Amino acid sequence: MPVIEIVRHSDKSVTAVWEITETENELLHEAALSGDELKELPATTNLQRRLERLAAHALLNRAFDKKTVMLHRNNGQPFLPDNTANISVTHTQRFAAIIIHEEASAGIDMEALSRNFDAVERKALSDEECRYLSGEHRNRQLCLLWCAKETLYKLIGESGIDFAQQLFVEKFTPGQKGQLNAAYTDSEGRERAFIVHYKQIHDHMMAWSVN
């Protein structure tokens, strides 16, 4: 089965990654959706998006080693109705990934390195972040900057966050894995510091954080 990894980290979070290679019927079997989850599924009309969502359900069952119900709020945010843990989910055409933590808020994001990140540079980066981009590492930096900011957006859970003005990632040289120092400034000017972990999985970068 296409579980790439299930990793239990020292901060008590669990990350898990699934490579999507199955048909929809195969994923429906793996996901073993509950009645409430089945009611949600028709709202996802795009086949690829359904595959991604089903893979996330299947992965959650594997991570907990039992059927675990995952529903979505009106804003799309996933949650476990039994409140056993906080969860964040990310999808690409090739992968689904989740992070679980029993106590802390958590966020995760995954992106293909082949993606064009020009729009990210224009809309999601501060002037300082744009200045430290290097020619040698530019695309990897842009990919990780986007992953990190998406991760923090999911973790913080507030709407209307300005990625360029309120989320900042300190200068870094990207590797195969590592961590980024980041900060969020709220509407009152209060700043919170975060550590965002990352690693390369095949031709994708994955970032995650707990707080």
pLDDT tens column, 45-96: 999 999 999 999 999 999 999 999 999 988 888 999 998 899 999 999 999 9
Whether 17 has a pLDDT exceeding 80, the answer reads yes
Residue 14: the pLDDT is: 95
| Domain boundaries along the sequence of the chain | 3-104, 110-210
pLDDT tens column, 144-159: 999 999 999 999 998 8
Whether 201 has a pLDDT exceeding 70, the answer reads yes
Confidence of residue 1 (pLDDT cuts 50, 70, 90): low
Compute the distance between CA of residue 159 and CA of residue 127 in angstroms, rounded to an integer: 23
DSSP letter string, 132-154: H--TTTHHHHHHHHHHHHHHHHH
Residue 43: the pLDDT is: 85
Average pLDDT of 6-29?
Answer: 94
State both tokens at 10: 């020292």
How does DSSP classify residue 12? S
Name the region of 160 (left: φ>0; alpha: ψ -120 to 50; beta: rest): left
Name the region of 118 (left: φ>0; alpha: ψ -120 to 50; beta: rest): alpha
Buried (b) or exposed (e) across 87-118, using 16+ Cβ within 10 A? bbbbbbebbbbbbbbeeeebbbbbbeeebebe
Compute the distance between CA of residue 14 and CA of residue 4 in angstroms, rounded to an integer: 13
User: Quick one: CATH architecture of 110-210?
Assistant: Alpha-Beta Complex (3.90)
Percent of the chain with pLDDT over 90: 84
Using DSSP's 3-state secondary structure scheme, residue 159 falls into coil
Fold of the domain spanning 3-104: Ribosomal Protein L22; Chain A (3.90.470)
